[in-house]
Amino acid sequence: MFDFHARVPKEELDNRLAALRAKLQETDPEWSFVLICDKINLYYLTGTVQQAALTITPDEAILWVRRSLERAQQESYFADIRPMRSYRTLAEHFQHMPSCVYLEAKNATLDWLNMVQSRLPFDSWKSIHPVIDSLRARKSAYEIECLRKAGEILADVTERFMPTILREGMSESELCGETFLELLRQGSMGICRYNQSMGEDAAGMAGFSESTLAPLAFDGPDGCIGTCVSVQAMGSPTRYLKKGDLVMLDQGSGILGYHSDKTVVYFYGKLDEHPQADRIRHAYDVCARIEAWAASQLKPGAIPEEIYEKALEMLPEEYHKGFMSGAKFLGHSIGLAMDEAPVLAKSFREPIEEGMIFAIEPKIALDGIGMVGSENTYLVTANGGESLSGHILPLTEIE
């Protein structure tokens, strides 16, 4: 049985800390101080998510916890965990701050920066994100095991369970909620985390036909009416399933912090009775072919930008406008966040490495009809991408 509450192994934490220090030494031999506060990076480096601050120097690494010290000590194998009243505690320990420190520039607010700098009087800062992002991009055997389990659960819910619950009159939000509940029953962690500030997701997104064309503020290819004007997720509680609808579900599953991502599209009824049946079938098949080809290219040494550009060459002219609903990518790395780097897109020219994980999601918006496409999560291997989330399905009719 998989242990859904297992602690991150001590060896894993030790290796990550050592890799961080080694990478900093390689890129900036003069580095002397790193401050980590983001909960995802705290979990990656310490194995616990608390109101805390992690300080790293060449000689020591301390997790300072405001709340809850007891839980942090129960959950984490991190070597040095201490109580923290406030950032004054850090100031008392670090009485001689270096002039330049490393911070999480993507997550820091001006209020936070001003407060920290008033306690720890450094003169300037650099972003630690390029270093941490490069480490998080390559998954260890432990991380791959978590991602594989998350993918197995997601495949079962979307490929086996979901077709059995589709019924005329159910709402988009009901479909999203019922599949989400099944994910929880099977052990999924029940939340999806994002790096983008507009990322907001617990139960994924479900949509019927034209609903999937509603544009999102989030930089993604899907569309969704949402539960209300202020929430662009899950689906509408007043758009009900009827015969002749395309049914799209884009959902994530997570195990011990690690995500898998998958999209399925079904047709509710007889596709041949739809006036645009040939167009729907052709566009869907184009997406399936692009996904299968792109997955085959996920080998060490491949260039993300080249995969993206060659995929565009495979796209018939008639679908250029609706491809990815205008989003300029084909797939994204995934791990402790749904939207990690590198991305299968222009300007990403660093070679792919074995152990990276990508979600490939070619999708086409068909005006007046809805969204078609597919998505699975793939592990980079010497033989190409290995799907961790099931199959590229044919466009299946559910009656």
What is residue 202's predicted lDDT score, i.e. its pLDDT?
Answer: 72
What is residue 171's predicted lDDT score, i.e. its pLDDT?
Answer: 98
In this predicted model, what pLDDT tens digit does every residue of 251-268 receive, in sequence order? Answer: 999 999 999 999 999 999
What is residue 48's predicted lDDT score, i.e. its pLDDT?
Answer: 98
Round to whole Å and give the CA distance between 297 and 276. Answer: 32
Residue 399 has pLDDT above 70, yes or no: yes
Mean pLDDT over each residue of the chain, to the nearest integer: 96
pTM for this predicted structure: 0.96
Round to whole Å and give the CA distance between 83 and 70. Answer: 9
Q: How far is CA 51 from CA 97, 194, 337, in A?
A: 22, 19, 19
Residue 277 near residue 366, CB atoms below 8 Å: no
Residue whose C-alpha is closest to residue 7's, from 97, 78, 75, 81 = 75
Q: How confident is the model at residue 302 (pLDDT cuts 50, 70, 90)?
A: very high
The mean per-residue pLDDT over the stretch 51-58 comes to: 98
In this predicted model, what pLDDT tens digit does every residue of 126-175 receive, in sequence order? Answer: 999 999 999 999 999 999 999 999 999 999 999 999 999 999 999 999 99
Phi/psi of residue 20, each to 5°? Answer: -65, -45
* Domains in the chain: boundaries: 10-135, 138-398
CA-CA-CA-CA torsion for 324, 326, 330, 335, nearest 10 degrees? Answer: -90
Round to whole Å and give the CA distance between 223 and 221. Answer: 7
In this predicted model, what pLDDT tens digit does every residue of 218-249 receive, in sequence order? Answer: 888 999 999 999 998 899 999 999 999 999 99
Residue 220 near residue 343, CB atoms below 8 Å: no
In this predicted model, what pLDDT tens digit does every residue of 89-103 receive, in sequence order? Answer: 999 999 999 999 999
For helices 277-296 and 304-313, angle between their N-to-C axes, nearest 10 degrees? 150
Residue whose C-alpha is closest to residue 329's, from 221, 252, 194 = 221
What is residue 203's predicted lDDT score, i.e. its pLDDT?
Answer: 77
Q: How confident is the model at residue 2 (pLDDT cuts 50, 70, 90)?
A: confident
Contacts of 87 (CB under 8 A, 6+ apart): 53, 115, 116, 119, 120
What is residue 198's predicted lDDT score, i.e. its pLDDT?
Answer: 66
The mean per-residue pLDDT over the stretch 291-303 comes to: 98
C-alpha dihedral sign at 328, 330, 336, 342: negative
Query: Which pair of structure tokens corresponds to residue 241?
Result: 């399933």
Q: Is the peptide bond before 163 cis (omega within 30 degrees of 0)?
A: no
Instruction: Identify the architecture of domain 10-135 in CATH.
Output: 3-Layer(aba) Sandwich (3.40)
Residue whose C-alpha is closest to residue 285's, from 260, 310, 309, 319 = 319
Q: How far is CA 278 from CA 247, 268, 271, 286, 323, in A?
A: 17, 16, 9, 12, 18
Contacts of range 136-141, beta carbons closer than 8 Å, 24 or more positions apart: 136/44, 136/335, 136/336, 136/340, 137/333, 137/335, 137/340, 137/341, 137/342, 137/353, 137/356, 138/353, 138/355, 138/356, 139/335, 139/355, 139/356, 139/357, 139/379, 140/12, 140/15, 140/355
The mean per-residue pLDDT over the stretch 172-198 comes to: 93
Q: Where does 138-398 sit in CATH, by number?
A: 3.90.230.10
What is residue 218's predicted lDDT score, i.e. its pLDDT?
Answer: 80
In this predicted model, what pLDDT tens digit does every residue of 341-378 receive, in sequence order? Answer: 999 999 999 999 999 999 999 999 999 999 999 999 99
